[in-house]
Chain A
């Protein structure tokens, strides 16, 4: 099974900051990596698919990159609605594992 590891597990940032979250796979998953945003009590929302493709309707301040085993999600200028928990998920092979999550909190 493929293990997904995110870092950091949490971070504090201010509105307007540039934020980068990292996700590592235990083996190569090519570009089969998706990113989700989750607010408490709400359903997850797809942000990025196939490592770097922006899901329709998602603001362009979100971007993703990486391939193989290392991936990043970047928020170029943090907005108030971006304070949430972010998860990566590999879709290379089942079980379709998620990373442990990165909570982005207000500084």
Chain B
């Protein structure tokens, strides 16, 4: 069964760090993405890692977040440093349905999301 399961969310103080994990099953990791939704807001693309391990970031997280993968564990990660209040959101990992480019054919499998709350 094709599935993504996120973990690692929680409550953290501003300036601290958190690492999210996304365990994949039923398929081999290709290009993968993190997308978030802040309370009452729309979807925001956060980061992507291509099949060839090139990483890309949204402007709001560049320099603070790092996306990575461990293919042997079929797990995607998001290391989040220097967290801010406006990083509070539900974070989703998603599979890229394309074997070329980034999201050319959309993000077709999503996890259930993990909640990150940044608050003092």
| A residues apposed to B, CB below 8 Å | 1, 32, 34, 36, 38, 43-46, 48-50, 53, 55, 85, 87, 89, 91, 94-101
Q: Are A98 and B106 in contact (CB under 8 A)?
A: no
Chain B residues positioned under 8 Å from A34 (CB to CB): 103, 105-107
Chain B residues positioned under 8 Å from A94 (CB to CB): 48, 56, 102
The total of interchain contacts (Cβ-Cβ below 8 angstroms) comes to 76
Give complex CA distance A87, B54 in Å: 26
Chain A residue nearest in CB terms to B108: A46
Q: Are A1 and B106 in contact (CB under 8 A)?
A: no
Taking CB atoms and an 8 Å cut-off, the chain B residues in 40-62 that contact chain A are 42-45, 48, 56-59
A32, A46, A101: most-surrounded residue (chain B CB, <10 A): A46
| A89-B92 contact in complex given A46-B107, A55-B106, C-beta closer than 8 Å | no
| A55-B108 contact in complex given A87-B43, A98-B43, C-beta closer than 8 Å | yes
Q: Are A98 and B44 in contact (CB under 8 A)?
A: yes
B26 sits at the interface (CB 8 A): no
Counting contact residues on chain B (CB < 8 A from A), the size range is 20 to 34
Q: Are A91 and B43 in contact (CB under 8 A)?
A: no
| A32-B104 contact in complex given A1-B59, A95-B58, C-beta closer than 8 Å | yes
Give complex CA distance A55, B59 in Å: 29
Taking CB atoms and an 8 Å cut-off, the chain B residues in 3-61 that contact chain A are 33, 35, 42-45, 48, 56-59
